[in-house]
Chain A
């Protein structure tokens, strides 16, 4: 009887938790998606005149949306790859220093900066009239400020990538540094060395595969996070190509009110693409989103 009551209590708290999740997370997101879908199809909205697929056709068959998606993907993948290279190098070279002392505290500092603030700092540092350019000019390396390479509002998103790398790298350093200890990498390395593994083999066959596999979900989520970032590309990017969030917001919030349904269509299509990628990853490996193993 007591066991039955306990089970009931457990079920009730579980059900309540699920309901809370649905109310706080699922419902608002779904409502937003439904509203955006209806708006993009012309069912709602002051200027809409009834059902139309015109907006979707314009987005789907036009190049700006796909250019933005590709540009966002390029910026996100480049930023994450560079962050991984830097963070892994730091986490593996400064193992002891990252456990205690000034460096372990300093590593948390960049995490305190909002994206907007960091983007502004980078603008001050990397623009043609910025700190580095002036330093080069004063040192006589540049004969005029304009000679400084275009790192801000440039066509390749270099400013966006640098800022994203500066913001993300400390997070990965902390992640890998903690994972190195929690996954017993030192023991795996010792074991592999008795099997005859050289230093390079220890890195490529043991340390990197274990760390990257264990953090793969986080890495993929960060790619999605950077793809959808808004403040940094807004401040440091340029009009064309635009990153997807900036492109969508410009359609929804600026100038031409007739572009609003297209903005909503873009946002839904973007969400659908991301969900499809996640589903693909999930169906290829059902354990993909499981973070715990018994190994």
Chain B
């Protein structure tokens, strides 16, 4: 397996506070790595450093073997998605998806074709003309995914993208993302604080705690780790079942 992303000995401080220390991470091509971590653990900072929106104090970041040092976010071909869908309020659903393609000055016929294809994929074709304020939270998040995926980034960074959705919509979105990621051969880092979501979404799992990252070689290894929280969860549901 080839690695699309490699991070070696990465450090980040804000003032006197160390946010990330000795981060080592590798992501295989066309796989999704779930990053579990509580609030303030440094996971958003890590994603922003990978996207080029924050700078690292020390360490090395390689995308497809190429060093990302001093590369602006515009040059990285890495898309960072926030928890909020952040659809551009002045553009309708179609134009939001077309946004990245228009920036790259792709031919308008190709844009039409790609965006319509993406809208079909997302089951959002009938909402193409709607403005963001006419869409539900789940629909906005779908368009947000489509907008990111249509430009075929080398790496997708998702920062708790389903955090603001209700349980049912969240489940549907997880399925949709998994399906799209598989079909479109997406490589992604998926940050969440939800244990179940991390297991469902990730081909691999990592845990970030107090600025330090532990990446498990396999999911099984994660389940076996007594500090992963998996065993606690299983015990909880067993207890419920017994009652």
- List B contacts of A63 (CB < 8 A): none
Known contacts A191-B81, A196-B74; 16 further A-B pairs (Cβ under 8 A): A183-B89, A187-B82, A187-B84, A187-B86, A188-B88, A190-B73, A191-B80, A193-B53, A194-B52, A195-B99, A195-B100, A196-B103, A197-B103, A205-B102, A213-B90, A294-B133
Interface presence of A178 (CB below 8 A): no
- A144-193 with Cβ < 8 A to chain B: 183-184, 187-188, 190-193
Q: Number of B residues contacting the other chain (C-beta, 8 Å)?
A: 30
Q: Are B100 and A209 in contact (CB under 8 A)?
A: no
- List 6 interface pairs A-B (beta carbons < 8 Å), by A numbering: A190-B53, A194-B51, A194-B53, A194-B74, A195-B103, A295-B89
Given A194-B73, A194-B80, A195-B151, residue A210 in contact with residue B89 (CB < 8 A)? yes
Q: Which 8 pairs from chain A and chain B are nearest by CB?
A: A293-B133, A295-B132, A195-B100, A209-B90, A193-B73, A295-B89, A213-B90, A295-B133
Q: Number of A residues contacting the other chain (C-beta, 8 Å)?
A: 24
What separation, in Å, do the CA atoms of A206 and B91 have in the docked complex?
10
- List B contacts of A287 (CB < 8 A): 133
What distance in Å separates the Cβ of A190 from its nearest Cβ neighbour in chain B?
5
What separation, in Å, do the CA atoms of A188 and B133 have in the docked complex?
16
Interface residues of A (CB under 8 A from B): 183-184, 187-188, 190-198, 201, 205-206, 209-210, 213-214, 287, 293-295
What distance in Å separates the Cβ of B30 from its nearest Cβ neighbour in chain A?
20
Interface presence of B114 (CB below 8 A): no
Best-buried of A195, A197, A213, A214 by chain B (most CB within 10 Å) = A195
Q: Are A293 and B132 in contact (CB under 8 A)?
A: yes
Interface residues of B (CB under 8 A from A): 51-53, 72-74, 76-82, 84, 86-90, 99-100, 102-104, 131-133, 140, 147, 151
What distance in Å separates the Cβ of B171 from its nearest Cβ neighbour in chain A?
22
- List B contacts of A214 (CB < 8 A): 89
Given A210-B89, A213-B89, residue A192 in contact with residue B79 (CB < 8 A)? no
